[in-house]
Amino acid sequence: MPLSWALLVSLALAVAGYIIGRSRAFASAGTDIRKLHSRPGYHGASVALTTLTPAIVVLMLASVLRMAKVFPPEATGFAGLLALAASVAGLGWGVTRINTDFRARNVVEKIVQGFLIFCSSIAILTTAGIVLSLIFETGHFFQKYSWTEFFFGLNWTPRFQGNSSLGILPLLWGTLYISFIALLVAVPIGMFAAIYMSEYASKRVRGIAKPAIEILAGIPTIVYGLFALITVGPMLRDYFAQPLGLGSSGSSVLTAGLVMGIMLIPFVSSLSDDIINAVPQSMRDGALGLGSTPSETIKQVVLPAALPGVVGAVLLAASRAIGETMIVVLGAGAAARLGLNPFEAMTTITVKIVSQLTGDNDFAAPETLVAFALGLTLFVITLGLNVVALYIVRKYREQYE
Amino acid sequence: MYDINRAESAVTQQDIKISASKVQVYYGDKHAIKDVDVEILDKTVTAFIGPSGCGKSTFLRCINRMNDTIPIARIEGKILLDGEDVYDRRVDPVQLRAKVGMVFQKPNPFPKSIYDNVAYGPRIHGLSRNKAELDEIVEKSLRGAALWNEVKDRLHEPGTGLSGGQQQRLCIARAVATAPEVLLMDEPCSALDPIATSQVEELIDQLRENFSVVIVTHSMQQAARVSQKTAFFHLGNLVEYGNTDDIFTNPQDSRTESYISGRIG
Ligand SMILES: Nc1ncnc2c1ncn2[C@@H]1O[C@H](COP(=O)(O)OP(=O)(O)OP(=O)(O)O)[C@@H](O)[C@H]1O
Ligand SMILES: [Mg+2]
């Protein structure tokens, strides 16, 4: 019997269990319904859940075991039958438990709570799994390549014949340089936009502008990348880099930084706008009531009150910038370089992860495995930023609660 | 009109500081203040009493144009401060509010230190020439608001960390530090214990020597203790306005009488 059939049948059994449980509860209460500890609906639900839960547990175990190839596909029929049996047993047990003193509500609440815990642990467990596999592969890499050369090497020249230099510093530098320029663009513009929208804009302007800005946040980054490639890059080259004698490359740190900054503006502004709006009106009233001008009120009361939250928003933006790939590929190129000239092509960790993993992969060569070490480094950096950001945002929330 | 004013001021020996005539306030369609005429005297404490929701706060907020910050509020009529219409287009609400200070119904300290909270007004208005002067203003205001002894050792801790009643007194100190000509106080003692209340009442009495004070209160005793003039509001109307003694001993309107004797409200 296929597993989906077993699931359907046990669902039907659960529905039946609900009806039986409810009527049994009514019957055991007799004329005075208040003698029941829990309302009849809870009794029904408790029977339904004790019917369904064992079946689902069996079915999940079976699919996991089959995926892990512990037992052969032929055994699925057996698993289905087992699930059905568990479900019938659960139904019988659930029905016998019903009497006036049975705490059906507490049972139902426990099971629902367990389900909620299960769902939230999925997110955590998958993250842990991803990190573990990264760590595992990174371990392989460091067996083949010295970690001091990886973390402190100044050159990035992978060669697939072997004997490559895989220093992370040029990539890290490119990542930080581009992100820095992006934040330099996004933070002031986003902040000023947020201040205008939350403090000065009329209701009508706000009603139009806020959704419009949020739509910008939904544009896929590859579109921004195209914009960088065909518009911003050539423009910077023709009007700034070449006249100033600073280079002749169409892709540059500045191109990627600018375009990434534009991408982040809506992100920064809508987060900051929410945070500024969360500053209570009574605080503005207090400042205005003392005779401060609207701009003094914003500078001296609203912004300081919102600052921790805004800092959190900026850090979140920074971790997005660090993880961005497409804009860098199309805007900044793929040349790993340690340099200060913003009109030169550079590249970032994310881009190199992609390039090391595309094409023919030999998962024993350090040139491929380095991608995992790069990924882990990136993960640690963004995780650190996010933790700091969340900590700050939480601190800020406490102030008003 | 003019004659009545003269007669009034002759009785109390005071000039008219604020004169409101035919004031209407609408929140959207809701008519919250109806046809209020009142004359508030200089160097006098005026109490606004009345049942909850009758429009005391609303009228108070008209005087320093704080209702400008509520988009749906609409004000009609005239409010003159020293003979000048505060709703005239040439009047800058910022300057008006520096002259007409306000203590709000809910304490709203800034997320700054206690010191910076009190120093806020003096700083933006440039009331002190140096740190020593500012320190002096801060201490004097905190003493006046009966808060100094509790906070003198923690002036640089955040004002939001104080208890509700302490925050209320901090807001009083903050308003007093700006040295306004008129001080509007919306239930300034609602969260205070009897000792702090009587200290704040003492402060109000001192302020009266130089300023005009308007206080909203739900305590008849407090109104009787601190004020010289009392206005009774009911459902957006100013029902009765007169000397505090007369209102409490010999109210003219039956609604006033029922309210002060505890039968409505
Ligand atoms: N921001 C607002 N928007 C809409 N209606 C309001 C607003 N503020 C006050 N009102 C309404 O105006 C009326 C008067 O309110 P107001 O706050 O002036 O009462 P109050 O006399 O100060 O009452 P309390 O003694 O409870 O503080 C009330 O009916 C209230 O519902
Ligand atoms: Mg009020």
Q: What is the CATH number of the domain that holds B10?
A: 3.40.50.300
pLDDT of residue A397: 64
Confidence of residue A398 (pLDDT cuts 50, 70, 90): low
Question: Is B67 among the domain residues?
Answer: yes
CB pairs under 8 A between A and B: 71
Q: Which chain B residues have a beta carbon less than 8 Å from that of A401?
A: none
d(CA B226, CA B46): 8
A175 to A169, A316, A352: CA distances (angstroms): 10, 15, 11
pLDDT digits (tens, 9 = 90+) for A4-53: 888 899 999 999 999 999 998 888 888 888 888 888 899 999 999 999 99
Please count the CA atoms within 13 angstroms of the CA of A400 that sit on its side-chain side. Answer: 20
Could you give phi then psi for residue A156, rounded to 5 degrees? -125, 95
B155 domain residue, yes or no: yes
Site from B96, B116, B120, B178 to mutate, A interface, most A CB atoms within 10 angstroms:
B120
Among B71, B95, B108, select the one facing A286 at the smallest CB separation.
Answer: B108
Q: Note whether A350 and A378 are within 8 A (CB).
A: yes
Does ligand 1 come within 6 angstroms of the Cβ of B55? yes
CA distances from B200 to B141, B183, B185 (A): 11, 13, 11
- The H or E element spanning position B20 is strand B16-27
Mean pLDDT rounded to a whole number for chain B: 90
Residues of A in contact with B111 (CB under 8 A): 283, 301, 304-305, 399
Dihedral-angle region of residue B113 (phi above 0 means left; psi in -120 to 50 means alpha; beta otherwise): beta
What are the tokens at A98? 């019903």
Inform me whether the C-beta atom of residue A280 falls under 8 Å from chain B C-beta atoms: yes
Question: Interior CA angle at A97 toward A93 and A103, to 5°?
Answer: 130
Instruction: Among B69, B111, B124, select the one facing A296 at the smallest CB separation.
Output: B124
How does pLDDT run across A72-126, given as a tens digit for each residue?
777 778 888 888 999 999 999 999 988 888 888 999 999 999 999 999 999 899 9
To which H or E segment does residue B240 belong? strand B237-243
Under the banding of pLDDT at 50, 70 and 90, the label for residue B11 is: very low
Report strand pairing: B73-81 vs B182-186. Answer: unpaired
By residue count, chain A amounts to 401
Domain assignment present for B69: yes
CA-only gyration radius of chain A, Å: 30
Ligand with minimal distance to A282 CA:
1
Nearest CA to ligand 1 atom 18: B55
DSSP state of A65: H
Q: Which of A298, A311, A338 is nearest to A392 (CA)?
A: A311
This prediction's pTM: 0.77
Picking from A324, A393, A331, the residue whose alpha carbon sits closest to that of residue A353 is A324
Q: What is the pLDDT of residue B8?
A: 43
Give the ranges where chain B is alpha helix by DSSP (H): 2-12, 56-63, 93-99, 114-124, 131-144, 148-151, 164-177, 194-207, 220-226, 244-249, 254-260
Answer whether residue B126 is part of any domain: yes
DSSP SS3 for A266: helix
Structural domain count, chain B: 1
Q: Determine, for residues A292 and B64 on separate chains, whether the beta-carbon distance falls below 8 Å.
A: no
CB of B56 within 6 A of ligand 1: the answer is yes
Strand B30-41 and strand B84-85: pairing? Answer: unpaired
Q: Phi and psi at residue B73, in whole multiples of 5°? A: -80, 140
Domain for residue B169, yes or no? yes
Selecting from B97, B101, B108 the residue whose C-beta is nearest the C-beta of A282 gives B108
Residue of B nearest to A202 (CA): B71
The answer to whether residue B265 sits within a structural domain is: no
pLDDT digits (tens, 9 = 90+) for B220-259: 999 999 999 999 999 999 999 999 999 999 999 999 999 9
Question: Is B26 in the A-facing interface, judged by CB distances under 8 Å?
Answer: no
Q: Which residue out of B27, B102, B105 has the highest number of ligand 1 atoms within 8 Å of its CB and is therefore the one to mutate?
A: B27
The packing angle between helices A366-400 and A303-323, to 10°, is 170
pLDDT of residue A218: 86
Residues of B in contact with A305 (CB under 8 A): 110-111
Which residues in B lie closer than 8 A to residue A304 (C-beta atoms)?
A: 110-112
Q: What is the Cα B264 distance to its own chain's centre?
A: 24
* Domain span including residue B121: 2-260
Q: Quick check: A289 and B97 CB within 8 A?
A: yes
Does A11 touch chain B if contact means CB atoms closer than 8 Å?
Answer: no
CB atoms closer than 10 angstroms to residue A23: 14
Mean pLDDT for chain A overall? 89
Which structural domains are found in chain A, ordered by start?
3-133 (no CATH), 156-400 (1.10.3720.10)
A159: DSSP letter: -
For chain A, what percent of residues have pLDDT higher than 70?
A: 98
Q: Is residue B18 part of a domain?
A: yes
- pLDDT, tens only, A296-355: 999 999 998 888 888 888 988 999 999 998 899 898 888 888 888 888 889 999 999 998
Cα(B262)–Cα(B222) distance, rounded to whole angstroms?
A: 15
Contact between A60 and A6 under an 8 Å Cβ cutoff? The reply is no
